[in-house]
Structure 1
Amino acid sequence: MNRDATVRSDVVSSHSVAGAPCWVSLTARDQGAAEDFYRAVLGWRFRTTALMDRFRIAYADGVPVAGVAAVASTWQMAVAWTPYFAVDNADEAVARGQERGGTTAVGPIGFSPGRAALLADRDGAVFGIWEGQLVAGWETWRRAAPAFLRLHTRNAFDAAMFYGEVLEWATSRPGCCEVHYDGDEVVLRSEGDVVARIHSGAVEAAPDPTIRPHWQVHFSVADVDACMRAALDHGGTVRDGASATEAVLRDPDGAQFTVTSKPQR
């Protein structure tokens, strides 16, 4: 059995991990440029998929870890990294979001392995939901993909209430995500691991999109300095405040993400 077949045998449904982050996807303008950049910075390999045109799956050590879709211009969407959360029922999750003041940008749309929708919370931070078969086994993806996610928002506790109700965090259902408080942050844990943090302080109407409410994807890497050098060599930028353990990078299209060597506990 080849490596990819091993990964496929570990595939599970969103129903078993509902509420937890299960995927991240980049909306880009130029597919080739995006692949060149992330191949150099994160060491990813890319493969085509039958899911849709202009969509590729990124692999790290043979494990599918992220999607890249060159649809920013066609669909008039922002160039950005977006996290997706597993749900039992996409229609019900969308309805819960709308009832609580969120908005729906796209979907739910049916794909061969499931259904997806793109939403925004009450403060405008964009996130996705996914119902159905996961691209990779959830444990496999979580170990190979993002270290964690961080929501920069106006009020962490208000945001935690919104997401908790929409994604059914901290409920009585088996395996649901646990919510804890750590100073001024809300911490989301799944099976004991930190998978997301919610941080107060974003400004809703700020002209700089990095200050407005948004989800930030943090990728775990072995060498932050090497990632920074590769990003600069391939047309990206490094935000001020970078260190040997963590740096915020932008790809040539402007999509922002973090590389970190800090494990989350």
Structure 2
Amino acid sequence: MTEAARHKPGTPCWVSLMVHDLDATQEFYGGLFGWSFRPGPQQLGPYVRALLDDEEVAGIGRLPVDRGLPVAWTPYLASADAGATAEAIRCSGGTVAVGPLDAADAGRMVICSDPTGAVFGVWEQAAHLGTAVGGRPGTPAWNELLTQETDAVGKFYKTVFGYELEPLASADLDLVTLKAGDRPVASLHGVGTALPRDRGAHWMTWFEVADTDDAAHRVTELGGQVLKPPRDDADGRHATVADPEGAVFTIVRSAPR
């Protein structure tokens, strides 16, 4: 399934990771997902694009040595106008930390956070359209915001990106699907006091794998950690893991749709 087309505004179109040791991180994800790497763009500093069969799937950059920023995967949401989206984020109670910033002819980017503090990016596509392939092991499968409760933050994302909000009809689970048009593109998951105190609200990127148990074992072999072991639910078999620098993500063998 190719994703190399212009994404509808609000659709997650890219994921990026900023780390301290770029070389070691490439070794980890190359070993886990079979990624190869290509440099660029230079405007983002030391930065590489991860490839599967020469198709771009994600980006990894080096953190400035004098900045104590967290190491975390960040999803980018597509925008037709990064400047207008940045203004909408500010007016809706969010914070714009970086940008809009031109990345040569690739496009324009914004790094921001929602009112709960969860960090995400905005990408206005030009030459770089974002993740070029999906549905295969080693590609982003889903993005989910983990937060205390979904009501207020759902209104923020609806206002900024025009999502349709589809709450799950359950008294036990606070889960809202974000839909761009009629397509589910991401979710909000209210976990109450189960939200980690050391992380706060945050976006979680899920990556497809061929076998969740094998991939979890490979994570530990490569120097990472398994934080929640493989388990089954309606989405498939998934595990929560962290890379050697502590970036948390989910690996999943998605259930057939």
Percent of counterpart pairs with the same letter? 32
For the 8 Å contact 1:72–1:78, the answer to whether it is kept is: no
Contact 2:143 2:187 in 1 (8 A): yes
For 1:48 and 1:234, locate their aligned partners in 2 and report how far apart those are by CA, in whole Å.
23
**Is 1:71 aligned to 2:59, yes or no?**
no
Match in the other structure for 2:12: 21
**1:30 is aligned to 2:18:** no
Rounded Cα–Cα distance in structure 2 between residues aligned with 1:264 and 1:197: 19
Q: CA deviation at 1:191?
A: 6.5
Partner of 2:87: helix, strand, or coil?
helix
State the partner residue of 2:178.
Answer: 188
| Residues 1:110 and 2:102 are matched in the alignment | yes
In structure 1, C-alpha distance between the alignment counterparts of 2:198 and 2:28, rounded to whole Å:
23
Deviations 1:37-61 (A, max 9, x none): 1011111111112343310000123
**Does the Cα contact within 8 Å between 1:148 and 1:194 map onto a contact in 2?**
no
The alpha carbon displacement at 1:136 in A equals 4.5
**1:100-139 matches, cutoff 5 A:** 100-112=92-104, 113-133=106-126, 135-136=128-129
Alignment partner for residue 213 of structure 1, among 182, 189, 201? 201
- Checking the alignment, whether the CA contact within 8 Å between 2:10 and 2:79 is kept in structure 1 is yes
Going by fraction, where is helix more abundant, 1 or 2?
1
Q: Within 5 Å, give how 1:144-163 maps onto structure 2.
A: 144=136, 145-163=139-157
Of Structure 1 and Structure 2, which has the larger fraction of its residues in strand? Answer: 2
TM-superposition CA deviations, 1:75-119 (whole Å, max 9, x none): 432100000000111111111111111111111111122110100
Distance in 2, matches of 1:84 and 1:156, equals 20
Structure 1 residue 205: Cα displacement: 8.9
Q: Higher mean Cα deviation, 26-35 or 190-199? A: 190-199
> Alpha carbon RMSD of aligned pairs, Å?
2.4
The unaligned stretches of length 5 or more in structure 2 are: none
Number of positions where the alignment pairs a residue of Structure 1 with one of Structure 2: 244
Q: How far does residue 70 in structure 1 lie from its aligned partner after superposition?
A: 1.1
- Counterpart residue number, 1:231: 219
Q: Is the 8 Å Cα contact of residues 121 and 162 (structure 1) preserved in structure 2?
A: yes
State the alpha-carbon separation in 2 of the partners of residues 61 and 189 from structure 1: 30
Superposition TM-score, scaled by structure 1 size? 0.83
Q: Distance in 1 between matches of 2:118 and 2:49?
A: 24
Residue 50 of structure 2, aligned match among 23, 36, 58: 58
* 1:26–1:69 contact (8 Å) kept in structure 2: yes
Distance between the aligned counterparts of 2:206 and 2:65, measured in 1?
25
Post-superposition offset of 1:125:
0.3
Q: Give distance in 2, aligned partners of 1:90 and 1:208.
A: 30
**What TM-score do you get using the length of structure 2 for normalisation?**
0.86
Bigger shift: 187-196 or 99-108? 187-196
Equivalent residue, structure 2, for 1:173: none
* Residue in structure 1 matched with residue 243 of structure 2 by the alignment: 251
- Residue 12 of structure 1 and its aligned partner are, at CA, apart by 4.1
Instruction: For 2:9 and 2:228, locate their aligned partners in 1 and report how far apart those are by CA, in whole Å.
Output: 36
Residue type of the alignment partner of 1:110 = D
In the aligned structure 1, how far is the partner of 2:53 from the partner of 2:168?
Answer: 33
Identify if the C-alpha distance between structure 1 residues 243 and 218 changes in structure 2 by more than 3 Å, giving closer, same or farther: same
Q: 1:56 to 1:196 in 2, by over 3 A?
A: same
